[in-house]
Chain A
């Protein structure tokens, strides 16, 4: 846990007036507010930082305490206790009270540094509490390409609540689905918010996904390529035998209809599998092989 320079966070001098703090905070809030930075985690982090800095520097008591102990924050509580003992007895003091009750902006979690100095690790901001409709929650779910090849069910825990979710086959990386009513609870008779789940689909397979189509390569030895024949190739869910035409060139593409990826929310519909042949040359030729190849070359060159 490190010391946080709240003045630097807001880009102001230690001698800044209350008005300067307010101005700096508002300027930065306009830049990093989550509502004008959709899907921007960096901005969200920055907004929490400036929010925390504002909670400290905009309130005279907090700022005084912060300025007084500064980098000695680790000992702030001990200093305070010693001071209290020295002071005259019987003076009332609201110990353990969170100085940030009723704070302004949405803050989310405050830093450990903030918690150790001012008590409480979370913003007690009321402005974001539900006034009617519950808050929307956002979550991210990481899946592998194999997981989204078939429609499947999964149990997620979001904010302590278990949700049984059906994930349709064909979900795309970055896709967001909305689950109505699984957000925060409403108040004053309002409905619950929604849960937005963003899918992050990683691909650890040998196939590349291009929309609903799958792309892959298959090695083809030059003899089969020249003379034609049959080879076995992997599809996403099994193997197929393919007939290779004589004199097949390197880079030839073969399309296998319906052997691609399932189409999202279209049951039974699949994209295509596109296989690109990569010709392989024999290595470590024996003397006999070399001689035969030379004969072949001579035949070809001399006509």
Chain B
């Protein structure tokens, strides 16, 4: 495990001012992956963007973990649909003057 790409969970919780239990809750709901080195929990830096989004949904909009899971599923569908719409729009240009 390349250590520079992983952040100690405790450091992360301090910086983001978030309870460690909340992160564990996210992990239990498969919203975030916690990696263990020996017994120390770490978070991969690559998932920080996702974590920040989760925190905004939770703190700004008071959405609980189950709600966040549902929002993420729907956002995944929105992404797919937007990509499909863009593809279709590009195809439709063939018929435009």
Chain A interface residues toward B at CB < 8 A: 26, 29-30, 33, 35-36, 38-39, 104-105, 127, 131-133, 136, 172-174, 188, 190-191, 193-194, 203, 208-210, 215
Main DSSP-derived SS at the A contact region: loop
B50-79: which have CB < 8 Å to A? 52-53, 56-57, 59-62, 71, 75, 78-79
Closest beta carbon of chain A to B60's beta carbon, Å: 6
A132 with B86, Cβ < 8 A, contacts A127-B60, A208-B94 known:
no
**Are B82 and A36 neighbours in the complex by a CB distance under 8 Å?**
no
In the assembled complex, B12 has its CB within 8 A of some CB on chain A: yes
- Residues in B whose Cβ lies below 8 Å from that of A38: 75, 78-79, 82
Q: How far does the alpha carbon of A194 sit from the alpha carbon of B78 in the complex, in Å?
A: 22
Closest beta carbon of chain A to B69's beta carbon, Å: 14
Kindly identify which residue among A36, A131, A173, A215 contacts B15, using a CB–CB cutoff of 8 Å.
A131
Chain B, residues 78-89, CB within 8 Å of chain A (1/0): the string is 110010001001
**Are A133 and B49 neighbours in the complex by a CB distance under 8 Å?**
yes
Pairs A–B under 8 Å by Cβ, sample size 12 = A29-B61, A30-B61, A35-B53, A36-B75, A104-B60, A132-B48, A133-B45, A133-B48, A133-B52, A173-B86, A174-B86, A203-B93
- Residues in B whose Cβ lies below 8 Å from that of A136: 49
Q: How far does the alpha carbon of A193 sit from the alpha carbon of B88 in the complex, in Å?
A: 31
- Residues in A whose Cβ lies below 8 Å from that of B17: 131
**Are B91 and A210 neighbours in the complex by a CB distance under 8 Å?**
yes
Nearest residue in B to A36 (C-beta to C-beta)? B71
**Are A188 and B15 neighbours in the complex by a CB distance under 8 Å?**
yes
- Residues in A whose Cβ lies below 8 Å from that of B86: 173-174
A131 with B16, Cβ < 8 A, contacts A38-B75, A38-B82 known:
yes
**Are B12 and A132 neighbours in the complex by a CB distance under 8 Å?**
yes
Kindly identify which residue among B59, B75, B91 contacts A127, using a CB–CB cutoff of 8 Å.
B59
- Residues in A whose Cβ lies below 8 Å from that of B39: none
**Are A29 and B15 neighbours in the complex by a CB distance under 8 Å?**
no
A105 with B60, Cβ < 8 A, contacts A38-B78, A131-B16 known:
yes
Q: How far does the alpha carbon of A193 sit from the alpha carbon of B48 in the complex, in Å?
A: 10
**Are B16 and A132 neighbours in the complex by a CB distance under 8 Å?**
yes
In the assembled complex, B90 has its CB within 8 A of some CB on chain A: yes
- Residues in B whose Cβ lies below 8 Å from that of A26: 61-62
Closest beta carbon of chain B to A51's beta carbon, Å: 10
- Residues in A whose Cβ lies below 8 Å from that of B59: 127
**Are A174 and B90 neighbours in the complex by a CB distance under 8 Å?**
yes
A172 with B93, Cβ < 8 A, contacts A39-B82, A188-B15, A190-B15 known:
no
- Residues in A whose Cβ lies below 8 Å from that of B56: 33, 35
- Residues in A whose Cβ lies below 8 Å from that of B49: 133, 136, 193-194
Q: How far does the alpha carbon of A269 sit from the alpha carbon of B52 in the complex, in Å?
A: 40
- Residues in A whose Cβ lies below 8 Å from that of B89: 173-174
A172 with B90, Cβ < 8 A, contacts A36-B71, A132-B15, A188-B15 known:
yes
